Amino acid sequence: MGATPFYHSILEVRLPKHFDKLMDMRYDGTQDPQEHLTAFEARMNLEGVGDEVRCRAFPVTLAGPAIRWFNSLPQRSVAGFSDISRAFLAQFTTRIAKAKHPINLLGITQKTGETTRKYLYRFNDECLEIEGLTDSVAILCLTNGLLNEDFRKHLTTKLIWTMQEIQIVAHEYINDEEVSQVVAANKRQPSYT
């Protein structure tokens, strides 16, 4: 075996046979390293493997510049998975996605002609990017960005305290809105009888 950053104790551990499944996890240095590390650790937790196996399995998930980086680590520089994860994050730190702040949600507004459904999809996607977002802030920003006055009134006349409640009310409203749009479109079409 050639030069390796692993201590001998890590090299002695054999990978379980099913570890070829990790091939669907690829990090090439262009994505957020924290996301890759989180996904990798979740997979390892699911598999129930120890620190040494994590060390041995991690390089299998690397490609391109990331595997070249790993191969350039000094001999015996990795005694445990924390060594790899620390070095990995330090190397690819510029790729870490910048956390979004709840204030970003104020920029998500319903566009003219955009359906309420599409606006809610865009708004929800943005909410997923914000860590620690409270329901009260999300609801405030959601209603602030609505162009649809009927829906805004619909939301503000009900006692709604969570985004889950908003989703339920929105689903009912959107279904009614879409049925009304279909009925209106059918009335505009000429009848050929």
Q: What is the pLDDT of residue 22?
A: 63
Average pLDDT over residues 48-66: 92
pLDDT of residue 70: 95
- Given phi > 0 = left and psi -120 to 50 = alpha, else beta, which region is 180? alpha
List the domain boundaries for the chain: 8-95, 102-185
> What pLDDT band is residue 42 in, cutting at 50, 70 and 90?
very high
The one-letter amino acid code at 81 reads F
Instruction: Determine the topology of domain 102-185 in CATH.
Output: 1.10.1200
Question: What is the C-alpha to C-alpha distance for residues 177 and 172, in angstroms, rounded to an integer?
Answer: 9
Cβ burial of 138 (10 Å; 0-12, 13-18, 19+) is buried
Residue 183 has a pLDDT of 82
Question: In residues, how long is the chain?
Answer: 193
**pLDDT for residue 180 is more than 90:** no
- Residues 29 and 64: their CA atoms lie apart, in Å, by 7
- The three-state secondary structure class of 27 is strand
Q: Are 170 and 162 in contact (CB under 8 A)?
A: no
Q: What is the per-residue pLDDT across 81-106, written as a single tens digit (0 to 9) for each?
A: 999 999 999 999 888 777 788 888 99
